[in-house]
Amino acid sequence: MNITENEEQPIKLVIMGMENAGKTTILDVLTGNINETPNRPPSMNPTKGIERSAILFFQKETKVWDFGGQETYRNEYLANPKKYFYSISFFYYVVDIQDYYRLPQSVMYFRGVFNMIINHSPDAKIIFLFHKNDPDYVANERNLKGKFLEKIEPSLKAANIPYTMYDTTIYDLSSIKIAFGLDS
């Protein structure tokens, strides 16, 4: 089906990152499955493959693609870009700022995905969620947010790609809602 001039192309919102970064929990906040601040993080099963759903985003129905972050799936996405990276309107990349040991993998994964975004959805808005910025978390000498940005900003600047960043936590639901342009 071709889209005529009078029809709008549907919004496609993609959320990616390493496994256990909090992607599905973030989407649960947006869909109202989590509507109050929990006492402890919810335990969830990992997303297998891609879970597709729809949410109201900027007053429009939006197709959401929640990409599972396990290595097997990451390799599949990068090996088949035509299947996954076309027509993305909003690209959210979630970084677990408490996962020091996985930061190099997250940087490498983002670089691969970023190349696919540039080639297949060059107009996508890129948003970073530095997640698990919890009340008891102290950004110490590890400063994972800074280290992540230090590694990926040269590529973003070289491609002249603007981006937005948000610090998010499940312990402040408004931090997540604000990152998605929703009233808190």
What's the whole-number mean pLDDT along residues 125-139?
87
Rounded distance, CA 132 to CA 118, Å? 28
pLDDT, residue 78, reads 93
The answer on pLDDT for 28 being more than 60 is: yes
Is 184 domain-assigned?
A: no
Burial of 95 from C-beta contacts in 10 A (0-12 / 13-18 / 19+) = buried
Predicted structure pTM score:
0.89
The answer on pLDDT for 9 being more than 50 is: yes
Is 33 domain-assigned?
A: yes
pLDDT, residue 74, reads 94
The answer on pLDDT for 98 being more than 80 is: yes
Residue with tokens 């639901």, as numbered in its chain:
173
pLDDT, residue 39, reads 64
Is 3 domain-assigned?
A: no
Least confident of 6-15, 23-32, 81-90: 6-15
What is the domain range of residue 62? 11-39+46-179
DSSP bridge pairs for 167: 130
Select the more confidently predicted residue: 31 or 3: 31
Return the CATH number at 148: 3.40.50.300
Q: What is the tally of structural domains in the chain?
A: 1
The answer on pLDDT for 109 being more than 50 is: yes
pLDDT, residue 61, reads 82
The answer on pLDDT for 156 being more than 90 is: yes
pLDDT, residue 6, reads 44
Cβ count near 16 (within 10 Å): 24
pLDDT, residue 42, reads 62
Select the more confidently predicted residue: 34 or 25: 25
Is 61 domain-assigned?
A: yes
